Structure 1
Amino acid sequence: MPAVTTEPKSREDQVMDAYVRVIREPLEEKYEDKWEEDNYWAAVEAFKVEVKEIGFEDPFEVLSKHRLTSFDQIHDKLKAGPPACFREGWKCSMIGTKLDTTALVAPLEHVNGPKYNGEERIVVLDFWATWCPPCVRAGPEMSELSEKYAGRVAIVGINNESIFAEREHDVAKVQTFLETNKAGFRYTIYVDTPEGHARESVYKKSEYRAIPCVVVVVDGVVLFVGEPGNEFKAVLEEALAVVAAKEE
C-alpha cells in the first residue's frame, strides 16, 4: 500500500498550532481563582521564540486574523474563563419555559424546504450561519433528521449571519449558498429579520454562545438548548418516545 502523503502546513498554520499548544491548552482550564500569572507570561515568551523560528517577527501578523489583538487581551480572555454555557453543570434558564415557535418563525423569510406550519409536537430550531464551518458540517445531519422524522419532528433552520457581529443582511446570498450546497441542506430554513427577531427573542435569551445551536421544543415547552451532539440526540429520542407514549 502506498504511503499516505499530506501537504506541509503553512507558516500561519504553524503559528496557530504553536499558540494552541504553548499558550491556550495549558492555561484554558486555569481561569479565575486557578489562574497562573507567571506561567502565562512564561508561555508567551516561549511562544514568541517559536514564532521567530517559524519565520515571523510579530506573532500578531497571524493572531490578529483570529481576533487576537494583544497578549494582554489573550491574558484577560483566558483568565476570565469560558462563558457559563461551556462550564460543567450549566443549565439553560429557558428550559421549561413556553415558546410559541409558530409566532417566532412568522416574521422570518422562508428560503429552503417546506414551510413550517406548526403541526409537529416536537420542533428543533437550528441557529446557524453560512460562514460557520461547524454549521455547514451539521447541515447534512439536520437534513437526515428532518427526513427520518418527517411528520413527527419539525427541523427549522434559522440563518442569521449577524448572530455575533454585524454583517450584511443579504437573503439572496444565503439562497445562493443553499443552492450550491443543496445536497447537504434539504430541510426547512428561514432567514432571520434584519433586526434579528429570532436571535434576540430566543438565541440571546438562552445565553448559549456558539453555533450551531439547537433548541428542542416539545408541546410548546423548551426541553434542550445546546450543540447538535450526542446529548441533543438523546433528548430528541426521549422526546419522541414520550410523545409516542402519550399518543397511544
Structure 2
Amino acid sequence: MKNIFCKGILSLVFTLVASTTSFAQNKSLKVGETLPENFWTTPLQVVNHPQKTISFNSDKNKLILLDFWATWCSACLKKFPEMEELKKKFSDKINIIAVTDQNRATIEKFFSSTNGQRYKSVLSVVDDKILHTMFPHTAVPFIVWIKDGKIINTTDGGQVNEQTIAEVLKNETSSLQTVIQIDRKRPLMLSENFELEKLSSIVGYSLFAKGRIRAIPFGSGFHRDGESVYGRQFTNFSLMNIYRGISYELFRQSGDKFSDKRLMNLTKNPEAIDFNTTTGGNFEKLYSIEYIVPKDEAINLYTRMLRYVNENSNYVASIEKKPVKCLVLRKTSNVDKMASKGGEPIGNILKSPFILRNVTLDFLLSALEATNDITTLPVIDETHYLGKVDLKFSSFQDLKSIQKELSAYDLELVEVVKELPMLVVKDKSY
C-alpha cells in the first residue's frame, strides 16, 4: 500500500500533522460564516495531481466549490464531466474540487478501474477528515460554495450549473436553494430545539409532503426500539413506491410476500403516481412521509400509515382478496428428490446452468417473482417444504423448460386462478 504522506520529507509530515490537529479542533461552519485562516494554508492530500498535497491559499480570490463525493455515488460520478466543463468555462474565476473521506488506496484503485478511467482528470482531495468536520453532511453529492472568504451557500449537486455560477460571480440575486441536510435518526423537519425540552418526548408524529425535499436524499429510514419498529420514513419517493414499501411490510406481517405482480394500479393516470425517480424530473410529483406511533402500538404502524397516506392524498390504496391467475408450485409425490446434500449455499441465476444449492425454495420463488421475463403471473408456494434444497436448471429464461426440469424433482408449476391478497390503488373519485 502506498504511504499517505510523501516519503523523505520529514518536515512536511510534522507540519501536516500539526496543522491537521489544529484544524480538527474547529467547529462545524454555517452559511454566512468566515473561514478560519488555516482553511487556506493546511495541506490536503490529493490524487490526479502532480503533487501529493495542495492548499487553497492561491484560490482566495476565486469562487470555490467543494464537491463532496464517494465512489459508490452514481449521481456524483455522473456530474463530474459537467463540473470539469464548468471549470474550463469560467477558467481562473472558479475552482471546483472534489472531496472524499475515502482513503488514497481506494480512490487510486477506483480511478485506475475501467469505470474510473472516465474521470481520471478529476482532481480530488482524499482521506479527508478536516473538510468533513467543517462541513458535516449526511449524503452526497453535497456542494459548499465559498466566496470572499465566506461560506455563501450549501446545495445539492443538481444546482451547480452555468447560470447559478454566473449569478454568484456577478453578485446577482442567486436562484440557489440552500440545502442543510437532515439527519434521518431524528424526526424529519422537527426543530432541533425540541430535544432541549427535558419534560417532553414525542409519542406520535406525522409528516406528509409533496415535492422534492433537497435536504435529504431518496430513501427510507426507521425508528426502532430493539427489534420493534415504531416509526418509518420514505423520502423523495413516488407515491406508488410509498404504497409498495408499506404493503411489503403488511404482506410480511401476514406471512405473505409482496411484489409488483400483486399490484393493481386502477388510477386514471398511472404515471402520475408510478414513475422512475432516478432519471430526474418529476420533482413536483415526489412525496415524503414520516409516521411515528406510540411504542406499544408498533404492531399497527403500517396499517395506520397506509390509512394516513390515503387520507392525505388523492388516492385510496387497500389490500383486498381478488381472483387472479397465478402459478402454483406443488409437490407431485411424497418422495423427496430435492433435499440438499449440504455445502456452501449458492443461488446462481445469472449464469447457465442455474444452480440452487443448500438454500430454501424461497430463492426459486423470488427469482420467478423478480421479473416479468419468465412470467407475468404471481408465483405461490404450496409445497409446504421447509428444508434446504439442491436444484439445477439448464437455463432460467423460459417457463416451459423450467416446468419440465422441475418434474425431475417431483415438482410442478401450474397455472390456476386463486383468490390472492392484492394491493389495489384507485383514485378517490373512482
- In the superposition, the TM-score normalised over structure 1's length comes to 0.48
> Which has the greater radius of gyration?
2
- In the superposition, the TM-score normalised over structure 2's length comes to 0.29
* More strand, by proportion: 2
